[in-house]
Amino acid sequence: MNKLQQSAVSYRVAACIVTTLLFIFSSSMALAAAEVAVHIRDGRISGVLQQGVNTFKGIPFAAPPVGDLRWRPPAPVLPWEGVFDASEYGPNCLQFPFSPGSPYRFEVEPGSEDCLYLNVWSPALATDQLAPVMLWIHGGSFTRGGAVQPSYDGTRLAGEGVVVVTINYRLNIFGYLAHPQLSAEQGGGSGNYGLRDQIAALRWVRDNIAAFGGDPGRVTVFGESAGAMAVSQILVSPLAEGLFHAAIGQSGGSLAPQPELATGHALGEEVAASAGVSGIAGLRALPAAEVLALFGEFESSGKRIRPLVDGRVVPEQPLALYKRGDFHRVPSLVGYNRDEASVFSSYPGMPFMFHNQQDFEAGLKERMGWGAYPFIWAYPEQDGSVQPYLDFWRDMLFGWNMQTWARLSEAAGEPAWLYFFTHVPDTATGRQLGAYHAAEIAFVFGNGLPETAADQQVHALMRGYWVNFARSGNPNGEGLPQWPRYGDAGRYLDINETPLVGEDLDWLQMKLWTFAYDRAAARE
Catalytic-residue membership of 437:
yes
- Contact assessment for residue 120 and residue 56, using Cβ atoms and an 8 Å cutoff: yes
Catalytic residue from among 160, 340, 361, 410: 340
- Contact assessment for residue 263 and residue 304, using Cβ atoms and an 8 Å cutoff: no
Buried b (16+ CB within 10 A) or exposed e, 27-62: eeeeeeeeebbbebebeebbbbeeeebbbbbbbbbb
Ranges of H-type helices in 412-476 = 428-433, 441-445, 453-472
Identity of the amino acid at 258: Q
CA-closest candidate to residue 293, choices 172, 176, 151, 449: 172
CA-closest candidate to residue 196, choices 217, 174, 166: 174
- Contact assessment for residue 409 and residue 416, using Cβ atoms and an 8 Å cutoff: yes
CA-closest candidate to residue 251, choices 509, 461, 440, 86: 440
Q: How far is CA 434 from CA 253, 387, 437, in A?
A: 22, 12, 9
Catalytic-residue membership of 225:
yes
CA-closest candidate to residue 164, choices 154, 179, 156, 149: 154
Catalytic-residue membership of 340:
yes
- Contact assessment for residue 248 and residue 469, using Cβ atoms and an 8 Å cutoff: yes
- Contact assessment for residue 57 and residue 90, using Cβ atoms and an 8 Å cutoff: yes
Distance from CA of residue 492 to its chain's centroid? 22
Catalytic residue from among 183, 437, 440, 459: 437
- DSSP-derived letter for residue 324 is T
Catalytic residue from among 225, 251, 342, 409: 225
- What residues act catalytically? 225, 340, 437
